[in-house]
Homo-oligomer: A and B are copies of this chain.
Amino acid sequence: MPELRQNLATREWVIISSERARRPNAYIEASDRILTHERPEHDAHCPFCLGNEELDLEVCRYPEGSQGWDTRVVRNKYPALAEAGTLVRNFNGVERYITGIGYHEVLVEHTLHNATLALMTDEEIRAVVDMYLRRGREISDDPRVEHLVFFKNHGERAGASLVHPHSQIIGLPIVPGDIRHRIEESRRFFDDTGQCVFCTMLADELSRGERLIALNDHFAAFVLYASSSPFHIWILPRTHRASFMHIDEDSLIHLAPLLRDVLFRLYTHLNDPDYNLILRSTPTKEPENGYFHWYIAIVPRLSRSAGFELGSGMWINPTIPEECAAFLRDGAVAL
């Protein structure tokens, strides 16, 4: 019997379709696939490779002021939003628009063309996280920015057009409807119970254990009970905090190893699947609060959305989340 499962935080339902159930190992990518780390270390045509630094407008680099670099942030060459300009609101009948003011930056995660987070060292991942944090804090200071979206597209099916490891940061002049909805739901849960809904979900996952895939003192990673797609993972800080921008040093130290652990499991168990990584944090003008909780979502691109998803906003997930978790936790690597 299929199930409709509800995500307690978003109140969205997802169909877990047992009739069409595919076992986790059905998602192992073909073994003749070129894995990310098997590509060349340097590509003279890649704008993010060493030697091509002048192709993009640099925002900052780490280490600062040095000749070389470990990570860099550059302006997106085709930005979705413009940094310069005034925020103008125009309401003219049904035509309502705001000038597209905001930020659209690319974080180059490594000098090597064929590096990938899953195989980097903790120190290298830490340098990436530090850069997310640095630019997140700086962009938040711009009063025109209402919300930040941190994301990474790994692989073509996840929307990546360049192989060189990179993330993107977009600073928006509005809070998107979807985020507003999540904030409202978490606020309602807080009103009803005095608890953060994410803390509640996390406590439940820790006590059940069956969907957990990795854990340390500061973070927990689990396959979502109401996963919208196969291997849909959340990484939650174990201490309540609404804004990633307020993360403390102790948590920062523990984030990189956990993120590496989760991505390494995906890389080895599923043979380098395409994925999106998203870091969600409270809107910039609702900074620290009791109801929202920052987290990282990882969504491997192993199934496709179609008319049903577009028409309903719901997802059909043909795998059992508990089986996906067990596979990532214990599963023998069948390559």
* A residues at B contact (CB < 8 Å): 1-6, 8, 10-13, 15-20, 78-82, 85, 93-100, 147, 149-153, 158-160, 168, 170, 172-174, 176-179, 181, 200-201, 204-205, 225, 276-280, 297, 299, 304-308, 310-314, 316
**How long is the Cα–Cα vector from A316 to B100 in the complex, in angstroms?**
11
A99 to B1, CA, bound (A): 7
Listed by A's residue number, 26 A-B pairs whose Cβ atoms lie within 8 Å are: A1-B82, A1-B99, A3-B97, A4-B99, A5-B95, A6-B96, A8-B96, A11-B177, A13-B176, A15-B80, A15-B81, A15-B100, A17-B80, A17-B100, A19-B78, A151-B307, A153-B307, A159-B304, A159-B305, A170-B312, A176-B312, A177-B181, A178-B314, A179-B313, A181-B181, A276-B310
Q: How far is the CB of A96 from chain B (nearest CB, A)?
A: 4
Within 8 Å by CB of A150, from B15, B99, B151, B311, lies: B311
Complex formed: what's the CA distance from A16 to B100 in Å? 8
State whether A310 touches B305 (Cβ < 8 A).
no
Cα distance, A222 to B216, chains bound together (Å): 53
Shortest Cβ distance from A313 into B: residue: B178
Closest chain B CB from A196 CB (angstroms): 13
Are A276's CB and B13's CB within 8 A?
A: no
Question: A313–B3 contact, CB under 8 A?
Answer: no
Shortest C-beta distance, A167 to chain B (Å), equals: 8
Q: Give which listed residue, B1, B159, B201, contacts A307 with CB less than 8 A.
A: B159
